[in-house]
Chains A and B, each alone.
Chain A
């Protein structure tokens, strides 16, 4: 088994009456790109803040690198939690100099990360003159300083335009290809699906589901149907009992097929009962759809 990079055991955290985390346990192993998914207030940032030492948990414990490195573990981690936090009156270069000094990294590495994130030309501009996207890139530069083994990224695509999101995705993919372990919390489920090997889904401080992304994605087929009489078709399908789940969605009906029935059978059944279908297509649920389904329960 690969090395255990982060082990979280039974962590709980309350803010007054609000239970931010409830008995959370996760293990993350070397080389994984681990996505943490959840709606606002589900405990994603609290989890990352606890493991990065910004806040203390009420119960439970965690360990990095199987505790081999004691308190020096942060030198092996690059982390961006929530917003980029820099001195607004300092330039990109000066801000990264502070980060380099804290991490004990040579200042010569600053040039490398600024080139990697496309900020080299703006290295002598003040942080407060940067757009949100550039601030995020600078934060990523700080994360990559010293070429850490592990990246912890909380909403790294926050505030970025589509091109910026694609650029960040490429950087993350590049780091993953280099064998780095990446822990990434995001609302952008499509991004998680594209980048991550593993994922965990949080809701109200609890872990709902975790595992490999392709295992989390259901292999069961769904069929989208549309006719001129969608309401009647919906009632017919519910009564017919050929589907596990029938839901109406925008301009149509989505059904989870019950084996051994398939789309050809559903088409024939609908036709024989007087429904002319305008559309019928099979699809597998995206991570986003499954996520929404899970957190709605």
Chain B
């Protein structure tokens, strides 16, 4: 495992195709969070600072970070397709790696990417928490502590799907087109033909539902209400509509990860390199 990771790290350490999107991902995420703290929504009864108070803060950071998971998916596709265009998968087999090791190397790399995303979310949440919380809201930090872990599952799920697409198509541009074509057009269109109790099991639906928008955000867009008493939020909005309980959604997402990885392994095992 260590050897496979070392090999993957040598590949990315001087690769601009990795660092440019990775830095873009991190900077944009932090910038969006920072800008979010500066926005003051002028809706009576809504304290926009509540987005950055526990327990809603975990929801805010993971939801925002989830949008940037698509960049992680693109990076994963670049890394897999590069191996085909440089014929280095083939060379690694010649030099002594097994096809299973090729597969494991990429899975480990995706695991590391998801873990770095997880750390970034946790760090930014803790730092924002220090600025926007007080002795009353800090104790709520553990209420939704599961959310960064769910974010990790989501990041890994997007990358697993991306890897499967890349292994099938082998070309970076076409893989990215296929990924977004499925994510933005194909699945949403197909979902329209299915009833609610079935469409919620579609892969992109399941994965994107892992990090729902913050409750307060939903409240404000639904023009429903939160009242304030002496400046404190009393959230009488309905609970987040997860469509499926989050634990159930997470389990199905893990199932999809297993499916994507199994298909990827099967393709790599049998494909002419």
| Interface residues, chain A, with chain B CB atoms under 8 Å away | 52-55, 71, 74-75, 79, 81, 83, 85-90, 94, 97-99, 101-104, 142
Contact = CB atoms under 8 A, between A and B. Distances in A.
Contacts of A71: 98
Nearest to B273: A54
B90 A85 contact: yes
Contact of B94 (A52, A89, A101, A104): A52
Interface in B241-273: 272-273
A87 B92 contact: no
Interface of B: 3, 6-7, 10-11, 14-17, 82, 86-88, 90-98, 272-273
Contact of B3 (A52, A54, A99, A101): A101
B86 A99 contact: no
Contact of A90 (B11, B17, B90): B11
Given A74-B95, A86-B86, A103-B96, 10 more contacts: A53-B94, A55-B272, A55-B273, A79-B94, A89-B14, A89-B15, A89-B16, A90-B14, A94-B14, A101-B6
B7 A81 contact: no
Contacts of A102: 7, 92, 95-97
A85 B91 contact: yes
Contacts of A88: 86
Contacts of B93: 52-54
25 contacts: A52-B94, A53-B94, A54-B93, A54-B94, A54-B273, A74-B95, A74-B96, A81-B90, A85-B90, A85-B91, A87-B11, A87-B82, A87-B88, A88-B86, A90-B10, A90-B11, A90-B14, A97-B10, A98-B7, A98-B11, A101-B6, A101-B10, A102-B92, A102-B97, A142-B95
A54 B17 CA distance: 27
Q: Closest 6 CB pairs between A and B?
A: A74-B96, A85-B91, A85-B87, A102-B95, A79-B94, A52-B94
Nearest to A80: B94
A142 B6 CA distance: 18
A147 to B, nearest CB: 14
B7 A83 contact: no
Contacts of B10: 90, 94, 97-98, 101
Contacts of A97: 10
Contacts of A99: 95
Contacts of A142: 95
Contacts of A83: 87
Contacts of B17: 89
B5 to A, nearest CB: 10
A52 B95 CA distance: 9
B91 A86 contact: yes
Contacts of A79: 94-95
A35 to B, nearest CB: 20
Residues of B contacting A: mostly: helix
Contacts of A81: 90, 94
B7 A101 contact: yes
A101 B14 CA distance: 18
A153 B216 CA distance: 66
B221 to A, nearest CB: 45
A144 to B, nearest CB: 12
Nearest to A52: B94
Nearest to B90: A54
A81 B82 CA distance: 19
Contacts of B14: 89-90, 94
A85 B88 CA distance: 6
A86 B8 CA distance: 14
Nearest to B18: A89
A242 B98 CA distance: 61
A102 B15 CA distance: 20
Contacts of B11: 87, 90, 98
Contacts of A55: 272-273
A79 B92 CA distance: 11
Contacts of B3: 101, 104
Contacts of B86: 85-88
A55 B269 CA distance: 10
A29 to B, nearest CB: 22
Of B14, B15, B87, B95, the most chain A CB neighbours within 10 A belong to B95
Given A86-B88, A101-B3, A75 B96 contact: yes
Nearest to B8: A98
Contacts of B87: 83, 85
A54 B92 CA distance: 10
A79 B93 CA distance: 10
A20 to B, nearest CB: 12
A81 B95 CA distance: 11
A63 to B, nearest CB: 17
A273 B95 CA distance: 66
A71 B87 CA distance: 22
Nearest to B6: A101
Nearest to A81: B94
A85 B97 CA distance: 15
A83 B96 CA distance: 17
